[in-house]
Structure 1
Amino acid sequence: MISKRTLLGSAVGFGLVAGLSTSAMADTITVATVNNGDMIRMQQLSPQWEKETGHTIEWVVLEENTLRQRVTQDIATKGGQFDVMTIGTYEVPIWAKQDWLVPLENMPDGYDADDILPSIAGGLSVDGTLYAAPFYGESSMVMYRTDLMEKAGMEMPDEPTWTDIAKAAEAMHDGENEIYGICLRGKPGWGENTAFLTTMANSFGARWFDMDWKPQFDSPEWKESFTTYLDLMNKYGPPGAASNGFNENLSLFQQGKCGMWIDATVAASFVTNPDDSQVADSVGFTLAPNKEGVEKRANWLWAWSLAIPAGTDAEQAAKDFVAWATSKDYTEIVAEKEGWANVPPGTRTSLYENQDYLDAAPFAKMTLQSIELADPTSPTVEEVPYTGVQFVAIPEFQGIGTAVGQALSAALAGQSSAEEALAQAQSITQREMSRAGYGK
C-alpha cells in the first residue's frame, strides 16, 4: 500500500489527550464509520484533533449494512483501505484471534482504560488485551410517548411484558393521523432486524442453537416470538416497515409518528433533543420487555468501537486518533459544545458517576441498568454453545444472520408466512452450519 506519510516543515502540536505523540511526520488516516448521529458528530469535531496533531483524516461514512460489508472485505483481503475501522462487539474478538487488529496497548497517558465498563471492555478484549476502543456502548430499551400513554389513561410498567407492549401499542395507535403504536426494525441484516429479533426470541426462551449446534427455528419459542412480532407490526406498525432500520425508525419517532420504539439505548439522546425531536419533552424509558414467566429480557449488548487494522502504515497516528475520540477529554468536548445529554454513552464508569450527566440525561440510569442486565454468556433461558446476546460469536454468523434476516423480513413484507420464513431460516442455518463442520 502506498504510504500516506508526508513531511512537515515543523513539529506538530500536542493532542488533546495527554501523551499523544508528536512528530515531524504527519499522516493522513482514512477512517471508516457508520452514519449514526454520534459518529457524524465525531466527524464534525475531528478538525480539532487535526489542528492539534498536524494529521489529517479522510472520512468514509456509510450506512450500517454497507459499512459491515466494506470493512469485512477489506480486512479479510488485507486491502489496506482504512487505518481506523468502526466495528462492533461481534467482530473484535474474532478478528483479533486472526491477528487482523492492532492491540491497543500503551495507550497515551491519561487514557484510563480501567475506567471502561467491565462488560463493554470484556467484549472487546482477548486474553485481557483490548483490541478496540469503545466509542459508545448500548443495550436496548423501550422508548415511548408519555403524552399518548396519558391520553390513553395508561401507565408503562417499569418491567413490561410483551402483553403490556401490545396493549400500549393498541391504545396509542392512530393510523389515520400517522401515529403508529409501535416501530421495530424490519430492514434485513444481521445487525439490523436479526439483532432485534434474536433478543426478542431470547425473551420468549428461544435460542439459535442447542448444545449440539442444531438450529432451533422450528421450536415453539421461535414461532411464538416471531408471530408476536408480526402481529404487532401488522396491526400497529408503520407502512413499509420491512425497509426500516435504526435510522429510519429514529426519524419516525422524532417526527412524532411512533407511540413506542424498542431499540438501542444510544437513541435516547436523539429523541430527547429538542433541536431534532418534535416530541423531546414527552419521552419515557423503561426496560426491554419479556414474556410473562421468562427471566430474560429483550435487551442486547453492543459497542460501536474504533479499531486499527494490522498492517496500516499510520499506526501511531491511528492510535492517537482512537485514543482522542474515545477518551474522557472527548466527552468533555461534546458536553461543552452539545450539552451533557449528548455525550457518547455506555462506555465509561466515570460518566455514570458524573452528576452533571445524571442530571442532564433522564435515560442514564436506564441505559446502565440495561447494559448490566445483558449477559453474553447466558443470553437465553436454556444453555447454549455460543456467546453473544443479539448475535452468535462465530465467524459464520455474519453471512447466516444476514440470510436469516432476509427471510424474516420477507414475512413482514407479506411475501411469505411466519411458518415459511422460519422454515427457510432453519434450512439456511442448518445448511451453512453443516458446511462449516459444526455438530460433527
Structure 2
Amino acid sequence: MRTQSRRRPPRATLAAVAAGTLLAPLLSGCWVGAGGAGSGGDAVNVLMVNNPQMVELQKLTAAHFTKDTGIKVNFTVLPENDVRDKISQDFANQAGQYDVATLSNYEIPIYARNGWLKEMDPYVGEDPGYDEQDVLKPMRQSLTGDDGKLYGQPFYGESSFLMYRKDLLEREGLTMPANPTWQEVGEIAAKLDGAEPGMKGICLRGLPGWGEVMAPLTTVVNTFGGTWFDEDWNARLDSPEWLEATKFYVDLVREHGEAGAAQSGFAECLNNTTQGKTAMWYDATSAAGSLESADSPVKGKMGYAPAPVEKTESAGWLYTWAWGIQNASRNPDNAWKFVSWASGKEYEQLVGDEIGWSNVPAGKRASTYENPDYRAEAGAFQEMTRKAIEQARPDDPGVQPRPAPGIQFVGIPEFTDLGTQVSQEISAAIAGRQSVESALKKSQQLAEEISEEYEGR
C-alpha cells in the first residue's frame, strides 16, 4: 500500500478526463450529427434510450403534453450504447442539438461537474406542483452534483433484491430468512438444485459488462467488506475481501447457477426464472413486474427478500434513468416543462389509466407506493422494492469511506472502461478459463492505472 501523501486531481483535470473518456467510443469511429442548431420556437428536442417505458412515453406525449402546453417534442430514440455515445458527443461539446437527454445516476454527477447540465433547483422552487419532496431521498441524492445542486429528475428507479420460488421452498421444507445472508442463500441454492427436473438453485449474471456481471458482483464485494478504491484512491482488488466475495460469487454460480452462466445477463436470467429453470435470482427490482405479469408462468409463485448481506445492513444497488437538461439548451424553460411532466405524478396516473399500473415508471416517488391502484397490481413486490430503494446508500455502500459515490459502480468517468475490462476477467473465471486469483491479479493492475491518475501522478 502506498503511504505518501495523495490528493484528488483538480476539477479542471477531472473535467478533461471525463470528456476524453466519455467521448472515446465516438472518436474511434465516424459520427455525423443531424443538422440544425438545436430546437426552435416552442419545440423541445429529446434524446432517449429505447426501453419500453420510454417508447410508451413517446406515444403519449403528443396527445397529452403537447396538446396541453402547445410544446412539440422531437424524439430521437436509440439503443442504450448508441444513446450514451450520442449524448456524450452533444453534451460534451455543448452543441445544444438536444435540450433533454436520458442519463443515469452514474453520468449526471460527472456531467454536472463538467458544467454540461442545467441546474434544476430554480425550476423546482417555482413549480410546487412538481412536489420534489415526494421523490425518494436516495434518488434525489444520486442526481445531485458535487455542489449540492440538483441536475436530474428520475423517470424510474430501481434497486436490487432476491427473487425466489416460494412454492418450492415451502415444498422442500425451507424458509427464506427475512434478511438473508449470502451464506444462507448459498445453502438454499444447493438444496433447490433439482427441485424440478433440470432446475438450478440460482441465477446470477456472468455476462461481461460494467452494467452486467459487475453490478451484482460489486454489491457482493461491498457487503463482504471490499471496495474498488479506498479513500486515498488505492486500488483494493487484491484485498482478502475482494477475493472472498468473488470466489463466493463465482463458486456459487458455477456449482448451483444457470447453464452458460458466463454468457448470462439480465435478460437470460429473466428467461430462466420465468421458464422455471432457476429457483432463485438476485437482480434488479424492476424484474419483478415481468415475473408477476399476467402471462408469466411464475406469477403468484414468487417471493421477494432484501439483497443478501454479510457485513453491511443493506446491500441493494441504486439506479435510475433520469432526465438531464443540457446547459446549452436554447429552450430550457420548455425543457423543464417536459421534464416535470415526464417525471411527475400526472404522468404516472396517465400511464396507469391508459396502459396499466404494472407499466407505471415506478421506483421514484413515495406517492406511487401509496396509490391503491398501484399497490393492488404490484402487491407482491412493491413494498419490498420501495424499501430496497430507500435503504440504498450510494455515498456509503460498504464498511469503509469511499473516494467517489456509487453502489454497483464507482462514480468516475473511467469506470466504464475499467469495469468492462475487469468484468471480462471475472467472466473468464466463471467460464473456468482462469482462476479467481488470476482474474483479480490482472484486475488489480488495471485499477492501479486509475489510482495513479487520481493520485496526480
Q: Which TM-score applies when normalising by structure 2?
A: 0.83
The alignment partner of 1:229 has SS state of: helix
Alpha carbons of structure 1 residues 243 and 57: separation in structure 2 relative to 1, 3 Å? farther
Number of matched pairs: 416
Measure the CA separation in 2 of the matches of 1:82 and 1:204.
42
Measure the CA separation in 1 of the matches of 2:201 and 2:55.
29
Measure the CA separation in 2 of the matches of 1:143 and 1:43.
31
| Structure 1 residues 128-171: Cα deviation after superposition (integer angstroms, max 9, x where no partner) | 43211101122111111122222322121111111221122223
Measure the CA separation in 1 of the matches of 2:61 and 2:434.
46
Q: Report what 1:39 is aligned to.
A: 54
Deviation at 1:309, TM superposition (A): 2.1
Corresponding letter in the other structure for 2:346: D
The alignment partner of 2:398 has SS state of: coil
Q: Report what 2:104 is aligned to.
A: 88
Q: Report what 2:123 is aligned to.
A: 106
Alpha carbons of structure 1 residues 237 and 50: separation in structure 2 relative to 1, 3 Å? farther
| 1:281-292 correspondence to structure 2 within 5 Å | 281-291=300-310
Measure the CA separation in 1 of the matches of 2:214 and 2:343.
28
Q: Which runs of 5+ in 2 are unaligned?
A: 1-34
Q: Report what 1:384 is aligned to.
A: 402
Q: Report what 1:22 is aligned to.
A: none
Deviation at 1:224, TM superposition (A): 1.1
Q: Report what 2:24 is aligned to.
A: none
Deviation at 1:101, TM superposition (A): 1.0
Does the alignment pair 1:164 with 2:184? yes
The alignment partner of 2:200 has SS state of: coil
Contact 1:30/1:81 (<8 A) preserved: no
Does the alignment pair 1:71 with 2:90? no
The alignment partner of 2:154 has SS state of: strand
Deviation at 1:398, TM superposition (A): 2.5
Q: 2:349 aligns with which of 319, 332, 342?
A: 332
Q: Which TM-score applies when normalising by structure 1?
A: 0.86
Alpha carbons of structure 1 residues 125 and 437: separation in structure 2 relative to 1, 3 Å? closer
| Structure 1 residues 60-119: Cα deviation after superposition (integer angstroms, max 9, x where no partner) | 2314x4443443344334455543222111211121121101222325562222221122
Q: Report what 1:27 is aligned to.
A: 43
Q: 1:219 aligns with which of 229, 239, 260?
A: 239
Measure the CA separation in 2 of the matches of 1:175 and 1:423.
37
Corresponding letter in the other structure for 1:369: K
Alpha carbons of structure 1 residues 80 and 170: separation in structure 2 relative to 1, 3 Å? farther
| 1:318-329 correspondence to structure 2 within 5 Å | 318-329=335-346
Measure the CA separation in 2 of the matches of 1:66 and 1:289.
33
Deviation at 1:433, TM superposition (A): 2.4
Deviation at 1:34, TM superposition (A): 4.7
The alignment partner of 2:282 has SS state of: strand
| Structure 1 residues 251-291: Cα deviation after superposition (integer angstroms, max 9, x where no partner) | 3323333311111112222211113x221111110011013
Q: 1:352 aligns with which of 359, 362, 369?
A: 369
Alpha carbons of structure 1 residues 219 and 354: separation in structure 2 relative to 1, 3 Å? same
Alpha carbons of structure 1 residues 192 and 116: separation in structure 2 relative to 1, 3 Å? same
Does the alignment pair 1:425 with 2:440? no
Does the alignment pair 1:62 with 2:82? no
Does the alignment pair 1:367 with 2:424? no
Measure the CA separation in 2 of the matches of 1:80 and 1:249.
39
Does the alignment pair 1:268 with 2:303? no
Q: Which runs of 5+ in 1 are unaligned?
A: 7-24
Contact 2:404/2:410 (<8 A) preserved: yes
Measure the CA separation in 2 of the matches of 1:242 and 1:81.
39
Cα root mean square deviation, aligned: 2.5
